[in-house]
């Protein structure tokens, strides 16, 4: 798929993120918008998930460790045709399948229930170990936030993955530098990621998380690495595409009102 087509998908995904959060009057738009390009490349260029095999384990699998970015995951599943786009407007409603955090028991295409930060990555390590035992050639991908990496469980999982040489595992860190309380460097800085993961026996790649070619190259490189898991450190802009949300920590976890929703949708259409 060419870059123009990927950009079109990412635009639709960002528009649907805003519609989900605005309609629900709650949710996490900032980190969802910021990681949209990463998951667009992953789902449309890298992973072999389709509407037909979404309910199967016989495919590449993805864990959204930063589970609060569920609007992004649901928008991706709609863009892939795994769920109807109309269902996105049930996000966070009573009895919906699209809960505030992903629930694997509710929806095909959700490979792990996540929400408690750090735990999704640990599950991804377990899934990679299971694939090895099953002699499966399918890969496990996991997206974690940089603020999430303040959790000790992240580093226990990193140590285990390095020890077991899980070369079928690829972690992507969404490094936008912000979390709900402000800048990560002011809260508890988990950086530098590259040096820390390398110390745990990982192969690391640093990319611009909005550059499609860099992302494609990084995922391709990860597939060639043997005997080590790979960590892709992707620099992103929180709130990417919406002018008043970009690099503003306050948009980590709140919904825009009607006027700001219209402004956000105009920004995304114009960009």
Q: What is the pLDDT of residues 94-138, one digit of tens each?
A: 999 999 999 999 999 999 999 999 999 999 999 999 999 999 999
pLDDT at 169: 99
Domain count, the chain: 1
Which pLDDT belongs to residue 59?
98
**What is the model's pLDDT at position 211?**
98
pTM: 0.97
How many angstroms separate the CA atoms of 46 and 150, rounded?
28
Q: How far apart are CA 256 and CA 245, in angstroms?
A: 10
Mean pLDDT of the chain: 97
Residue 256, domain extent:
3-270
Q: What is the pLDDT of residue 38?
A: 98
Average pLDDT over residues 16-28: 98
For residue 271, the model assigns a pLDDT of: 83
Task: For residue range 153-167, list pLDDT tens digits in order.
Answer: 999 999 999 999 999
Average pLDDT over residues 188-216: 97
Q: Can you give the CATH number for the domain in which 95 is found?
A: 3.40.50.970
Span 51-57, mean pLDDT? 97
Please state the φ and ψ torsions of residue 248, each to the nearest 5 degrees.
Answer: -120, 110
């Amino acid at each position: 798929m060419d870059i123009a087509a990927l950009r079109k998908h990412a635009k639709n995904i960002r528009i649907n993120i805003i519609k989900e959060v605005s309609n629900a009057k709650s949710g996490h738009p900032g980190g969802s918008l910021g990681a949209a390009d990463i998951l667009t490349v992953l789902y449309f260029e890298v992973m072999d998930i389709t509407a037909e095999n979404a309910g199967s384990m016989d495919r590449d699998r993805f864990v959204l460790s930063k589970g609060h970015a569920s609007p992004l995951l649901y928008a991706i599943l709609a863009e892939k045709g795994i769920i109807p786009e109309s269902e996105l407007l049930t996000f966070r409603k009573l009895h919906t399948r699209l809960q505030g955090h992903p629930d694997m028991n509710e929806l095909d295409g959700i490979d792990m229930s996540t929400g408690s930060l750090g735990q999704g990555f640990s599950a991804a390590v377990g899934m990679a170990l299971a694939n090895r035992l099953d002699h499966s050639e399918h890969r496990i991908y996991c997206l974690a936030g940089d603020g999430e990496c303040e959790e000790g469980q992240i580093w226990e999982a990193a140590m285990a993955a390095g020890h077991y040489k899980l070369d079928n595992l690829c972690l992507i860190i969404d490094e936008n530098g912000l979390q709900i309380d402000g800048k990560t460097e002011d809260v508890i800085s988990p950086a530098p990621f590259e040096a820390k993961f390398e110390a745990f026996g990982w192969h690391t790649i640093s990319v611009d998380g909005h550059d499609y070619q860099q992302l494609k190259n990084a995922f391709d490189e990860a597939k060639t690495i043997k005997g080590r898991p790979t960590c892709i450190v992707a620099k992103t802009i929180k709130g990417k595409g919406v002018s008043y949300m970009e690099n503003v920590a306050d948009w980590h976890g709140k919904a825009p009102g009607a006027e700001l929703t219209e402004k956000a949708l105009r920004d995304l259409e114009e960009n």
